[in-house]
Amino acid sequence: MRKSIPEILVEDGFITKGDRDEIEQQSAKTGISFIKIALSFGYISRKNYERSLINVGYNYAPIREEEFDPEVLSKIDIHFAHDRVAMPLRIQDGKVITIMANPDDELFVDFIRFTYDLEPEIIIASDLDIIWLSHKLLGEKEIKSAVFELLKRDPDSSAIVTFTTPQLVFIFVLLAIVTIGLVVSFKNTSITINVLISSFFLVAIIFKLFLALVGSRFELHQAVTREELKLVDDNELPIYTILLPVYKEDKLIKKLIWNLQAIDYPKHQLDIKLLIEEDDDKTLNAVRNLDFPAVFDVIVVPFHMPKTKPKACNYGLHFSRGKYLTIYDAEDIPDTDQLKKVVTLFGKLPEEYVCVQSALNYFNRNENFLTRMFTLEYSYWFDYMLPGLDTLDIPIPLGGTSNHFKLAELVDLGAWDPFNVTEDADLGVRAYAKNHKIAIINSTTYEEANNEPFNWIRQRSRWIKGYMQSYLVHMRNPVALWKRIGWKGFLGFSFFIGATPVTFLVYPLLLAIFICYVVFDLSTIRSLFPDWVLFMSIFNLMVGNILMIYVNMMAVFKRRYYELILFAIANPIYWLMHSISAYKGLYQLIVKPFYWEKTNHGLSKVNNPTNIVK
């Protein structure tokens, strides 16, 4: 009698008997096939599994080009195929041609027999190829849902339309008024514009300083204390989904596994989904070639425009099993106790809290000027600004990763907008508008700071474009927004999301005028603007810059990055880089609003700490 695959694996020494029992228990409990659990929960590497199969005479067949019959496919659900790592393709010679990763899967064989009333003809294939093919062929409904669900349910919140007609009318009317003003009275119009812009600049920065001060007041506040964490019972922890959207991140897969393995959470309660795009063979092959066990479930996102991270995440949602869900980037190193802390915090918070945002910071902060500036910026953003917003009950623009959701509520909200390139910030405001709340937690995820200027500008241009998109989306009906989120929320949203791109856009103009005035002493500027306007503008610009530098300086204290404090002085230069990105973002907003500027990761030469335990 032929031995079963689990027995072979035990015999080959790749898993222990204890492992086998554990896997079988899990399989019975979740309905996921034995081999999927073995390959996705860190029991066996794909290479070893292939070795065992070869030893008993099985060879992987290339299946990507196999013919398929839509009629046959229509009788199987993607979830079932995904969980069993198997799918029927067509009927040939009175048999159902079936691809399987584990030929012993009796449940699936029985499914074929009962569904098609025929015997299966099994082709053994790599689980990754089966997943790739199953999602490509069966995932159409889910991918359509990932792209269009929000648009169908809540079209006003979708960024598929960048500028609405009233917004275009407003913009062009404003431009016309300014042009007419300049023609009729150049001097007065220039004065008005100058005063408005420079005052706006100052107010926006003072608002940031105010937020940072409010946030800094609570810098010692621990949302979840060590003592509370000690009381957590591992047996009562819910299933936690981690979505890992990646695109061409082949170099980071090994690091990713090390980081995920360090997370302090029961293995079987973790539901980690690696979301790989259909055309991303690089990452898929990197997973295939791992010579140690993976700890994630691969999901292949079928091709569909727009090719954005939120679309991939929305797709991943269809396969998520957790009560809670979070997103990490491939290079992220979360604090090991982060998930437990979040579960504890959700347990403490009232029902209306649907999301918890962790702080983000960088592990390669001392690599170069850019990484230092980036660290300063993130430190004040996550350590001071967001707690400030939280305290004042103003909508929090979520960070790109490490935001933890209640899965059911996230789905209820319509999940992420695939047409928005800062879907996280947009979701924060959308959640707030629907009377949900977001909390901040005392846990940090360390990321890789962008250390290359052009890569930095690409990333930043996407963020700023996304802020513009989000602002346009939510300001389609300002009165309704005001009513929904209140005056505080409205002003906070306008100054935080709306003002950010505007300040970056006007900053170089103000700086240029200032330099012309001070350095070149241009008489035209003096004759154009009356003294009080010049005084006010210079005051605004100088005070604005000083305060912004100061806010950056504050950032070093909580994290004790004292060595970075002087770099805050370079903030005006850093802002100029923001301005370049803002103009790029503005250009893209007009010509290709959904284009996702990919940030290259893995450029850092700094070895990230393998495990950060607090």
Partner 1 sequence: MRISKSLYLLFITIILAVYYLVCGIYLNGLGNYNQESLFYIEKTKIVFEGVGNRLKVMGLTSPIIPFYATFAFNLISVTLAPVLASALGTAVLFYIIASTVVKRLVDDFYMWILLALFLFHPGIIYTACSGKGIYLILIFFFLFFLNLFKFYRSNTTFHISIASLCLVILIFCDYRFVWLTLFFLPLVLAITIHSLNLGEQESVFRLFMSFNSPSLRRKLVNKTFSLYIILFALPLVAVLCYKLLNLTHASDLNYFNESPYATWNVLVDKLSFDALSTNTNYKIPEVSLLISARVLLFCPMIIIAVFLYRESTYQMLTILTPFALIEFLHIKYDKVFVPYQYYLMFVILAYLCVILKSHTVRKPGSLKIALVICVVIQIYFGGYYLYSSSITEEQNFVNVLFRRTEDETEEDNINVAQYLSSLPGDSKVLVDDATSYPIVAFVHDIKPLIMPYEDAFLSALESPDKYVDYILVATSRNAVTGYTQLNNKYLPLMKKTNSQIDFRKVFETRDWVVYRIVPR
Binding positions for partner 1, rule: CB under 8 A: 213, 216-217, 219-220, 384, 518, 531-532, 534-535, 538-539, 542, 546, 549-550, 553-554, 556-558, 560, 562-563, 565-566
Q: How far is the CB of 366 from partner 1 (least distance, A)?
A: 13
Q: How far apart are CA 510 and CA 194, in angstroms?
A: 9
Residue closer to partner 1, measured from CB, 349 or 543: 543
Q: How far is the CB of 342 from partner 1 (least distance, A)?
A: 24
CB of 192 to partner 1, least distance (A): 19
Its sign, for the CA torsion 459, 389, 551, 337, is negative
DSSP codes joined into one string, 429-457: HHHHHTT-EEEEEEEEEEEPPP-SHHHHH
Q: Tell me whether residue 53 or residue 534 sits nearer to partner 1 (CB atom).
A: 534
DSSP 298: E
- Least distance in Å: CB of 384 to partner 1? 8
Closer CB to partner 1, 392 or 411, in the complex: 392
Residue 287 or 556 with smaller CB distance to partner 1: 556
Q: How far is the CB of 573 from partner 1 (least distance, A)?
A: 16
Contacts (Cβ under 8 Å, ≥6 apart) of 119: 94, 95, 96, 112, 113
Which segments of 368-407 are extended strands (E)? 403-406
Decide whether 207 or 550 has the Cβ nearer to partner 1. 550
Dist CA 611 CA 614 (whole Å): 10
Strand ranges of the sheet holding 324-327, from the earlier edge strand across to the other edge:
297-301, 270-277, 240-246, 324-327, 403-406, 353-362, 437-447, 333-334
Q: Least distance in Å: CB of 586 to partner 1?
A: 31
Of 74, 118, 114, 82, the residue nearest 99 (C-alpha): 82
Amino acid at 304: H
Q: Which is nearer to partner 1, 284 or 556 (CB)?
A: 556
Tokens coding 198? 């420079």
Of 550 and 595, CB closest to partner 1: 550
Q: How far is the CB of 291 from partner 1 (least distance, A)?
A: 39
Nearer to partner 1, 176 or 542 (CB): 542
Whole-angstrom distance, CA of residue 297 vs CA of residue 82? 10
Indicate the Cα dihedral angle 193, 196, 199, 202, nearest 10°. Answer: -80
* Alpha carbon distance 528, 255 (integer Å): 59
Q: CB pairs under 8 A, 24+ apart, for 111-118?
A: 111/76, 111/80, 111/84, 112/88, 115/75, 115/76, 115/88, 116/72, 116/75, 116/88, 116/91, 118/91, 118/94
DSSP character string of 104-124: T-HHHHHHHHHHHSSEEEEEE
Cβ-based neighbour number of residue 534 at 10 Å: 18
* Shorter beta-carbon distance to partner 1: residue 202 or 502: 202
Q: Which residues contact 127 (CB under 8 A, 6 or more apart)?
A: 35, 36, 39, 46, 85, 101
Least Cβ distance, residue 545 to partner 1 (angstroms):
9
Contacts 24+ apart (CB under 8 A), 511-520: 511/541, 511/572, 511/576, 513/194, 513/537, 514/538, 514/541
Taking the least distance from each CB to partner 1, the nearer of 64 and 560 is 560
> CB of residue 537 vs partner 1: minimum separation in angstroms?
12
Query: Residue 221 Cβ, how far from partner 1 at the closest point, in Å?
Result: 10
Three-class secondary structure assignment of 192-205: HHHHHHHHHHHHHH
Q: How far is the CB of 534 from partner 1 (least distance, A)?
A: 7
What is the closest distance, in whole angstroms, from the C-beta atom of residue 530 to partner 1 in the complex? 8
Closer to partner 1 by CB, 210 or 482: give it.
210
| Closer to partner 1 by Cβ: residue 51 or 187 | 187
Q: Which amino acid is at 266?
A: P
Measured CA distances, 407 to 297, 322, 414 (Å): 18, 7, 11
Determine the Cα–Cα distance for residues 120 and 100; give it in Å rounded to an integer. 10
Q: Name the residue nearer to partner 1 (CB basis): 210 or 583.
A: 210
CB of 568 to partner 1, least distance (A): 9
The single-letter code of the amino acid at 169 is: V
To the nearest whole angstrom, how small is the minimum distance from the Cβ of residue 557 to partner 1? 4
CA dist 62 and 492 (Å) reads 55
Report which residue type is found at 508: P
Q: How far is the CB of 81 from partner 1 (least distance, A)?
A: 54
In 3D, which of 61, 52, 60, 59 has the Cα closest to residue 3? 52
Give 211 or 246: the residue with its C-beta nearer to partner 1. 211
Rounded Cα–Cα distance for residues 512 and 193 (Å):
15
Is the CB of 212 or the CB of 287 nearer to partner 1?
A: 212
Please give the Cα distance from 593 to 239 (Å, whole number): 36
